[in-house]
Structure 1
Amino acid sequence: MIRVLFVKLLDDKRFNENRKITINEVAEETGIGRATLTRIANQQGYAVGTNIIDKLCDYFNCDVSDILQRVPDNNEIKST
Structure 2
Amino acid sequence: MVIYHIKELIDAKSAKEGRKISMAEVAEAAGLQKAAISKMAKNNNYSTTTRTLDALCTYFDCKIEDLITYQHQSL
Query: Structures share a fold, TM > 0.5?
Result: yes
The alignment status of 1:27 with 2:47, answered yes or no, reads no
Shift of 1:45: 2.1
C-alpha separation in 2, matches of 1:70 and 1:20: 28
C-alpha separation in 2, matches of 1:64 and 1:39: 18
Residues 36-59 of structure 1 show CA distances to partners (whole Å, capped at 9, x for unaligned) of: 111111142211211100000000
Q: 2:36 is aligned with what amino acid?
A: T
- 1:36 aligns with 36
Q: Which runs of 5+ in 2 are unaligned?
A: none
Matched pairs, number? 75
Q: TM-score, normalised by structure 2?
A: 0.91
The alignment status of 1:7 with 2:7, answered yes or no, reads yes
Q: Considering only aligned residues, what root-mean-square deviation do their CA atoms show, in Å? A: 1.1
- 2:62 aligns with 62
Identical aligned residues as a percent: 32
C-alpha separation in 2, matches of 1:72 and 1:44: 15
Question: Any runs of at least 4 consecutive aligned residues in structure 1 with deviations exceeding 2 A, and if so which?
Answer: none
Q: Which runs of 5+ in 1 are unaligned?
A: 76-80
